[in-house]
Amino acid sequence: MVFHNAGMRSGIECSLCARCPRDRIRGCCTISPVFLLADIGYFLNNGGDEFVNDLLDSPYVDISADQLMVNAIDPSSEASPGTSQVRAASIAPFSHLSHPKTCRFHHPEVGCRIPMSYRNMVCRQFLCPGVKLWKDTRARRWVDFWLYLQEEEIRRQQLLADKCAKQGFSLLARRHECLRLVRSMYRDLQPAPRLPDGYPEMEILVLKPTGIPGAKATN
């Protein structure tokens, strides 16, 4: 288990995910990830213009006023594998799917195919209940850290959405103006507000795995 303290794009990596006993197509791997204006603001200020354009142009993305949802692969409704127009996540063949749906960014061998900093808040911080992370006393001290980031992300999203709405901009109407405003506003929000003290840039925890075939318990 690796905790990455990277400001607003902090995240959690878990080596046990690759050995998930539930067909490796569960938890975050089944969702349709949602990117908020706060995510888009980060992308636009960190070399992600092409990624944003690919999302906006993709037939697999539902666009609303202040967010983008990348619809999960549904083998029952898609005739052939194809290739997602989101270049960062071309669709893997359906042959590996044992679950009705899977995230378009997921690959059965490597997991998520986009960098952690480009994942949304849920995907950066999600761990399935089987990991039982928060029962470990060393990990529990990070709970306040993640809660703080979640609250700050929500605050930023609300600021961006409210400002765009007041100007009559959205991802549906006057999109280019919306993106320019989001880029500018997000840049003005940098750097991230002071995070709670006492958290290193990276911390590695070795946990006792539960229910993972072939995994060895290590303390």
CA-CA distance, 28 to 127, in Å (whole number)?
Answer: 8
| DSSP letters for 43-79 | HHTTT-HHHHHHHHH-TTEEE-SSEEEEPPB-TTT-S
117-144: pLDDT as tens digits: 999 999 998 777 666 666 777 788 888 8
**pLDDT: is 107 or 95 the higher one?**
107
> Does 2 fall in a domain?
no
> Does 106 fall in a domain?
yes
163-181: pLDDT as tens digits: 999 999 999 999 999 999 9
Mean pLDDT of all residues in 136-153 = 86
Residue 81 pLDDT: 38
Mean pLDDT, the chain, rounded, equals: 79
**pLDDT: is 111 or 162 the higher one?**
162
CA-CA distance, 50 to 42, in Å (whole number)?
Answer: 13
Residue range of the domain that includes 80: 23-128+140-201
Domains identified in the chain, total number:
1
pTM as predicted? 0.81
Residue 97 pLDDT: 45
> Does 62 fall in a domain?
yes
> Does 44 fall in a domain?
yes
62, 80 Cβ separation under 8 angstroms: no
> Does 27 fall in a domain?
yes
Strand runs labelled E in the chain: 2-4, 11-13, 34-36, 61-63, 67-70, 106-107, 111-112, 202-204
> Does 216 fall in a domain?
no
Name residue 67's beta-bridge partners.
36
> Does 206 fall in a domain?
no
12-33: pLDDT as tens digits: 988 766 666 555 445 667 789 9
Residue 129 pLDDT: 64
> Does 192 fall in a domain?
yes
